[in-house]
Amino acid sequence: MRQVLKTTQYVTVALCMDNEPYLVSLSHGYDEARNCIYFHCAPEGKKLVYQKANNRVWGQAVLDFGVTDECDYVYTSVHFCGRMHLVSDLSEKQHGIEVLVRQLSLNPEMKLAKIKPEKLEKTTIGRIDIEYMSGKKGSPNRERLQELNYVFRGSRPTKTPSVEGKKGEQKLF
């Protein structure tokens, strides 16, 4: 489950205020050691209004591999719940943006080198502390998944025939 959060580009998060739900997709970085998700956003907006009223969230991440030739649907999903907080500490903002950029960028060090402390100070960084996680796989069977030969290139799942073992790629199953 943690692998899904570490490799997907987006999570979808549900918030609620006054019995009115709100759903938002966020680019994110998953910090496995702290079991939290970092994201950045505008300094104002609907998600922050909802977060201020009720910081309890439910979210999901999905790796969607489509339909096989046998009409089996292949996916892995993770659902999580937790609390959403805004980060004010500059050192945690730096950590959060590093987690985020390293997960989403193919050349993270170059991008991180351009982030200045004065800009980061003005950036809104959020953190979701995960309290519970569950997952599900939709797949025909383990052998069939190996035949499909899915691998990761960076953070993007790619169907690739006969590439097992190449550097920088990680077998999904």
pLDDT tens-digit series, residues 37-90? 999 999 999 999 999 999 999 999 998 877 777 787 788 889 999 999 999 999
* Residue 140 phi, psi (nearest 5): -70, -50
> What is the model's pTM?
0.78
**Does residue 171 register a pLDDT over 50?**
no
Return phi, psi of residue 102, to 5°.
-65, -30
The structural domains of the chain, with segments of one domain joined by +, span 2-171
Nearest to 15, CA basis, from 84, 114, 73, 107: 84
34: helix, coil or strand? coil
Query: Residue 52, class by beta-carbon neighbours within 10 Å (0-12 exposed, 13-18 middle, 19+ buried)?
Result: exposed
Considering the segment(s) 2-171 as one domain, its CATH architecture is Roll (2.30)
Sheet containing 169-171, strands listed edge to edge, beginning at the edge strand earlier in sequence: 156-159, 150-153, 169-171
**Please, what is the Cα angle at 58 between 108 and 32, to 5 degrees?**
40
> What pLDDT digit, counting tens, does each position of 106-117 carry?
889 999 999 998
What band does 173 get if pLDDT is binned at 50, 70 and 90?
very low
